Each structure stands twice: as C-alpha cells, then as structure tokens.
Amino acid sequence: MNTGSVGRISVAVVGASGYGGVQLVRLLMDHPNVEMVYLGGESSAGQPFADLYPHLGHRTKLVIEPIDLDDISKRAQIVFLSLPNGLAAGMAAPLLEKGCKVLDLSADYRFANLETYEHWYGIARSDREIATKAVYGLPELYRRRLANAQLVGCPGCYPTASLLALAPLLRQGFIRPDSIIIDAKSGTSGGGRQGKIPLLLAEADNSIAAYSVAHHRHTPEIEQICRDLSGQDMMVQFTPHLVPMTRGILSTVYANLRDPGLVGDDLLTIYSAFYRASPWVRVLPSGVFPQTKWACGTNLCYIGIEVDERTGRAIVLSAIDNLIKGQAGQAVQCLNVMMGWDETLGLPNLTFYP
C-alpha cells in the first residue's frame, strides 16, 4: 500500500464522476494532508477528469481509471466510495483486508441491521460480519467511535440535517418519542447526476412537490439513530420535498415536549451546550432561523430553535448543503477525525452571499 508523499496520505475516489465524487475531488484538492492518487469509474473510465469537469482541469491531470481493487489498495491508504447503493458492499471487504481505510457515501454501511437495509433497498447482502464493524459517519454524534474506525458509512443528506436538529432533544429525553414529524426540502442535486424526469429543470422549476411520501428510504436510517440516541424504539413521520434550487436542504422538525414549562431560551442553552465542541454546527440566536443559502458550498449546519408554547411543541430548523455537509464534506470531516487531524481541515466554512 502506498504511503503517500512525505507528510501526506494517499487517497482514492471511486465513483469520481458523479456529484458526490466531484465534490470529494474538489475538497481533497485543497486538503493539505492528502494526495489524490486514483480516480475510479466504470462508464467514464479512460476519460481525463478535466474533460468531465473542465472547471477543475487546471488543478488535476488525473484520468478516470477502471475500478481495480488490487491496484487501488497498492496505491491508496484511504478509499472513498461514491457509488450507487449496493456496489460498495462488494468492495469494502477486499479493501479492508489489504489495509485500506474505507469511507462509503452510499447507504450500504449505514445500517446496524442489514435486514432493514435489505427490506428498504431491495438488495441482498452477504457481508454481515463486515457491516457490524462500520461506524455511522456523523462526527457530531459518533466522534469517539470514528477515531478508531476502519470502515465508515457516511449518512444521507436528509438524515444529517434531521438528526442534528433532533439529537440534543433525544439525548436528554426532552421530547415524546411518538411525536416526531420531519418536513424536509431538498435541491435537485440530491438525486445525483443521472437525471430523472422530476429533477429536470422544466419539471422542477416554479414547482414544489413531495415525493416518496411515507416510504422514503432515509426514514429507517433516521429512526435507527433516534433509537440509539434515546435508548428506546420510535418511529418518525418523514416527508421529503423537491424544491427548484440546485443544492441545499432545509429540515423542519416538530416534536412534543415532555415538560410544557420549557421555553425557547431553555432549548437554546441545551443546544449550545450540546454542540459546544462541534465546529460545524452553528446554533442561531433566538428569533433567527436558517436559510439554505447560508450553508451553500460549506460544511456548516445552521440550526434555529423555537418553542410553540400554545401547542407545547419544539420546532427546530436545520439547513445544510446536501452535497457538502450532507455528503462529501462530511466524509472529509470523518477522515479528519479518523486521522486525528483538526476536524475543520480542508473544509469550507464561508459561503458567497447573496
């Protein structure tokens, strides 16, 4: 296995031509501790990366190569898998056996119970032993586990926004577990680069629509982490919506408070304390609520909080960039934790506004 240049680790990105892959390449170009040595893909194999993404051509001369796990393991210490669901499951074990650390951006290693994965994704699995070793890649919640991880299942974008909004309330037992409602909106890039009709400009422009109502595959992922945080079984009502913008997620979470005496300032204190050591979470002042534009192009999550004293509900709003904090940036953040580096290394924290 390649040890990289002096002071730098060697990194491979498999699935480099998709939206997740190009975000990874872009972020890793500016990371001072890594050297990209391999970009892999199937349909795009043989093409210079600069032909696929000319705006990055002045920074890399790498060519997309066929996926060869033996070759990857000889050249890279860290492997990012940015592939459709079901493909990483056949690649992680050989790479781990050869000494690589693996970060998977698909759903393949997000589930502790593979029967849940098989039910919701319709993909049979035979790698249960490997899957039990995976760490869920949400650093704000699992930082200690990530420090020793060899295999990371990076969360989906909707779960990231929703769980960061819910975590302090669940961990402290402040909300009723049967009352959680998540209403989330995403930009069209969340569907990936292979365009589907609802994601096309002519279909999405000037329109907003819910999809996968009561059946979205991120629901069990959210519920799994909610159970882990609260210590009890629970179900959430999750409804995603597509909005006519390229990137960003706004998740609005509602839950009934156990203590009707809690007010907004109480929750602000709770959230500020919970995320005091989390550099990528910004808890906003009372009366300020996040906008997706603020997080665009950054690894930040903005959280706004309110209590409706009339209904006894907490209302928490969370805004992220679905391709950065909800995907590639979070994977790089996980890498930083795994390597013992500063958690903010190589990641953007300022957007361009407006």
Query: Active-site residue numbers?
Result: 157
Question: What is the DSSP secondary structure assignment for residue 285, as one 8-state letter?
Answer: P
Task: Tell me the DSSP string of 57-115.
Answer: TTT---BEE---HHHHHHH-SEEEE---TTSGGGTHHHHHHTT-EEEE-SSTTS-S-HH
Q: How many CB atoms lie within 10 A of CB 274?
A: 19
Residue 279 token pair: 């550099």
Taking Cα atoms as reference points, which of 25, 5, 8 lies closest to residue 331?
A: 25
For residue 205, with 0-12 CB atoms within 10 Å meaning exposed, 13-18 middle and 19 or more buried, which class applies?
Answer: exposed
Q: How many CB atoms lie within 10 A of CB 182?
A: 27
Q: What is the largest CA-CA distance in the chain?
A: 63
Q: Cite the DSSP H helix spans in the chain.
A: 19-29, 49-52, 69-75, 92-97, 114-121, 128-131, 139-146, 157-172, 201-204, 218-230, 264-274, 292-295, 329-339
Please report which helix (H) or strand (E) contains residue 249, including its range.
strand 249-256
CA angle 338, 83, 291 (to 5 degrees): 70
12 bridge partner residues: 38, 79
The Cα 330–Cα 328 span in angstroms is: 5
